[in-house]
Amino acid sequence: MFRIGEIEIYLFNDATTWVDPGGMFGLVPRVLWSRYHVADARNLIQTANHNLLIRAAGRNIIVDTGYGNCLSESQRRRGGITDFDGTHRGLQSLGIASADIDIVIDTHLHDDHCTGNFRLSADGSRAPAFPNAEYLAQRREYEDAIHPNERTRATYLPDNYVPLYESGQLRLLDGDCEVVSGVSVLKTPGHTPGHTSVRIESGGQHAAFLCDLASLAVHFERLAWMTAYDVEPLVTLETKRAWQGWALETNALLIFPHDIVGPAGRLTLDSRDRPKFQPEDVAYDNPIDD
């Protein structure tokens, strides 16, 4: 658990996955990315799927929901998922019921970040994972998700969000929004045009869940490094440039969605004034299955 002023942040690893580094590093050659992440004999690297519980202003806020328990065994096998449903287990370990969650922030609507919006019952039926929560997503992201193109279709699964919108449980945002005092959703386009990150500020301290603005810590350290999935890579670069300045100015704690090597840390400058990520020791707030 991290504390930012009066705000508590709990880090859950919802799923552990083995993925093709071509997706995570795009144009970056192996000789460079292998300095940071080691591929196994299958040429796969291990990644995480981080979600947050934020306790602020008397509210329980979930940031992203991961895969939850909605994937079949064959889907998990195809996705290289060796551990799953960590957010649910984390809440259980903290004694927090799903019904106690007040707000769910979907930073964007790719399936690895919002399939856990729903929960699969033993009889195969699906229901909102957090029945009393208001779900939040950007209107631009929702419109892109319900009108995908050939490039984006595979990453947007309407069953993860359309039923919430139709029932009135999903509220669409038009730009930046302070969700509760000290917790804001801010537009960070590039990975998708409607992508957002979450900024936390309290007691003169700062933190941010960057989500896929920087899937891995090295993506934030090096502006030109990003995933192959970024829809607008040049926009990603400029968005990261602006956020680098903020991170250096505030000494913010930065949390990354998929980095199992360095999930959180701070940005500093090296001896040549180049951005350098400094990881911090962190422990997950959910039990991890072997």
Cβ atoms of 218 and 261 within 8 Å: the answer is no
User: H helices of 105-197, where?
Assistant: 111-114, 139-146, 162-167
Task: Please state the φ and ψ torsions of residue 104, each to the nearest 5 degrees.
Answer: -120, 125
DSSP element (H, E) containing 83: strand 81-83
β-strand partners of 45 = 19
* CA pair distance 267, 172, nearest whole angstrom: 32
Cβ atoms of 26 and 46 within 8 Å: the answer is no
Domains of the chain, residue spans: 2-279
Mean pLDDT score, 49-55: 99
Pick from 191, 264, 175: nearest CA to 232 = 191
Confidence of residue 288 (pLDDT cuts 50, 70, 90): low
pLDDT at 245 (0 to 100): 98
* CA pair distance 255, 1, nearest whole angstrom: 12
Average pLDDT, the chain: 97
**Which 8-state DSSP code applies to residue 133?**
P
Full-model pTM? 0.96
β-strand partners of 9 = 2, 54
CB atoms within 10 A of CB 188: 27
Superfamily of domain 2-279: Ribonuclease Z/Hydroxyacylglutathione hydrolase-like (3.60.15.10)
**Model pLDDT for residues 1-17, shown as the tens digit of each residue:** 999 999 999 999 999 99
